[in-house]
Amino acid sequence: MELKGRKVTVVGLARSGVGAANLLADMGADVTVTDRQSEARLSEMVSRLVPSVRRVLGGHPKDLFMSAEMIVVSPGVPLEIEQIASARAAGIPVIGELELAYQIMDKARGGGRIPFLAITGSNGKSTTTTLLDYMLKKGGFKTLIGGNIGNALTEEILKTVRGETLNLRGNGKGCNFPQDCVVVEVSSFQLDSIERFRPHIAAILNITPDHLDRYHSLADYGSSKARIFENQTEEDYIVLNADDPEIEKVENQRLKGKVGGPNVLYFSRSRKVKGIYFRDGNIYCDMPRISCLPEHPFISAADIKIKGVHNLENAMAASAMALLAGCPQGAVIESLREFAGLEHRLEFVRELDGVRYVNDSKGTNVGAVMKSIESFDEPVVLIAGGRDKAGDFSELSELVARKVKALVLIGEAAGKIKDAIGNLTDTVMAEDLKDAVTLCRSKAVNGDVVLLSPACASFDMFLDFEDRGRQFKKIVEELS
């Protein structure tokens, strides 16, 4: 990828846009970044741009797209907008920030492929990605971690290669990256804009309804997830959730009978598979080239520090990927015993009057909330609501009727959720999050769990899911 002097338009000034623009500028490209929002709204991101990057904010002028030699799109920008569609029709290359990072690293290695370990899915991506990175580091690997997890890969590359700029600009030497591999969390939006992205080891954790405000159907959404193995060959591996019916559909449509496709392994909570699976309270491993004995437990599930049924799946997926990458078994097992999980994912906040308060603000879709509720044997008082992402809240019906003793609703989607499942349990509407916590306290008794798991986006009331989770924790900690 020759970039010196090339005219590049970067679309979207979030973390990915800033990372892409700065790396492109460092490599000698002529970079302009554009965003629909005003400079005042984007002041923090603007301050992170290097001086040579031009800014066109408050709109997307069509000529800025049509005059570009390449367009790099941030994940939050739909590829269907008129300006991008016109540029594509004119033959202008359009790629995403993930693809840009991949191509730069692929070329900079001078033909020596640096392995990408990539994780996608509707839920659990960040936990699995972070756990996998933890395992590899414990096993002695030097890793670079980034992607949808919150730090753009392009930004991480730029940090890594400071002082190697001439090599990145193409003097023929290649850049000797110190990392053994790249661990990357990948969203469907990022996969929509790939071309050559080819992870050596990939995983699809689950496919449940999400982002249906952007995709036409669950099948379309699943097709985007499936692109993670689109360019894989028989030298590569894909790890799939054997218990997920949507993944089974994708596998049947895209992998079964594919000549030259990746090696397929599985993880499962319900049955024995070629890969890694749960049975009778233990995790077992049956994988090629791995010296685990299938008849002997790999680890007891009780010894895995992160709890919850979805975290059991995350732990199995990360373990399979780490073992395939050559991580020592001892390092994988130690990591499972030590890794405490991430903030806002079934995060224990405190116990008060015998009631446990749990922050699962990252539960932004129905599928995530189902897994969260399944993780508790105790009665649950659930806080849900926010900005709807075209979720089908009726899918919660069976669990709510069986396990949720009270439902406290907030935000724009409160009415829609009440109409869908409000008749199944004691349901009340709250004015805001503080009011919701107060109502939960009045309904919960010794032995109950108060769970914030909204099944919605946060942007109607909060900056993001992290802001929502931190406000919840602050309110709970201040309860007397």
User: Using one digit for the tens of pLDDT, what is the confidence trace for 265-292?
Assistant: 999 999 999 999 999 999 999 998 777 7
Helix (H) or strand (E) holding 345: none
Partners of 238 in beta bridges: 202, 264
- Which segments are annotated as binding site? 121-127
* Residue spans in the chain of domains classed CATH 3.40.1190.10: 106-338
Q: What is the pLDDT confidence band of residue 173, given thresholds at 50, 70 and 90?
A: very low
Report which of 246, 304, 13 is spatially closest to residue 121, judged by C-alpha positions.
246
Angle between helices 329-338 and 125-138 (to 10 degrees): 130
Tens-digit pLDDT profile for residues 322-361? 999 999 999 999 999 999 888 898 899 999 999 999 999 9
213-261 pLDDT, tens digit per residue, is 777 788 899 999 999 999 999 999 999 999 999 999 999 988 887 788 9
Q: Is residue 172 pLDDT above 60, yes or no?
A: no
The per-residue pLDDT for 162 is 63
Percent of the chain at pLDDT above 90? 76
pLDDT for res 16: 93
Q: What is the pLDDT of residue 110?
A: 59
Q: Which of 269, 247, 267 is nearest to 256 (CA)?
A: 247
Q: Which residue has the tokens 């954790």?
A: 205
At 290-316, the pLDDT tens digits run 777 777 899 999 999 998 888 999 999
- From first CA to last CA, the distance across the chain in angstroms is 60
Residue 163 has pLDDT above 70, yes or no: no
Q: How confident is the model at residue 474 (pLDDT cuts 50, 70, 90)?
A: very high
Give the 3-state secondary structure of residue 10. Answer: strand
CATH no., domain 106-338: 3.40.1190.10
Which residue type, as a one-letter code, is found at position 365?
N
Residues 29, 6 contacting (CB under 8 angstroms): yes
- Output the average pLDDT for the chain: 91
Residue 169 has pLDDT above 60, yes or no: no
Q: At residue 360, what is the residue type?
A: D
pLDDT at 168: 52
Q: Which residue has the higher pLDDT, 429 or 219?
A: 429
The DSSP-derived string for 428-468 is EE-SSHHHHHHHHHHH--TT-EEEE--SSBSTTTSSSHHHH
Tell which residue, 166, 11, 7, 38, has the closest CA to residue 97: 11
Amino acid 150: pLDDT: 79
pLDDT above 50 for 198: yes
**Per-residue confidence (pLDDT) for residue 102, from 0 to 100:** 94
Instruction: Tell me the sheet residues that pair with 71.
Output: 9, 94
pLDDT for 149 = 85
* Intervals of CATH 3.90.190.20 along the chain: 347-477
Dihedral in degrees, nearest 10, Cα atoms 37, 43, 47, 52 = 40
What is the reported pLDDT for 111? Answer: 55
pLDDT tens by residue, 104-149: 888 766 556 789 999 999 889 999 999 999 999 999 999 999 998 8
Domain 7-92 architecture: 3-Layer(aba) Sandwich (3.40)
Binding residues for ATP: 121-127
Q: What is the pLDDT of residue 107?
A: 77
Residue 350, pLDDT score: 94
CATH 3.40.50.720: which residues of the chain?
7-92
34 has a pLDDT exceeding 80: yes
Contact criterion met (CB below 8 Å) for 239 and 202: yes
Higher pLDDT, 72 or 390: 72
Is 165's pLDDT higher than 60?
no
Is pLDDT of 171 > 50?
no
Q: Which amino acid is at 415?
A: G
Inform me whether the pLDDT recorded for 319 exceeds 80: yes
DSSP string computed for 375-434: T-SS-EEEEE-SB--S--GGGGHHHHHHHEEEEEE-STTHHHHHHHHGGGSEEEE-SSHH
Q: What CATH topology corresponds to 347-477?
A: Protein-Tyrosine Phosphatase; Chain A (3.90.190)
Please tell me the distance from the alpha carbon of residue 468 to that of residue 461, in angstroms, as a whole number.
8
Backbone dihedral region of 457: left (phi > 0), alpha (psi from -120 to 50 degrees) or beta? beta
Closest alpha carbon to 226 in 254, 190, 199, 261: 254
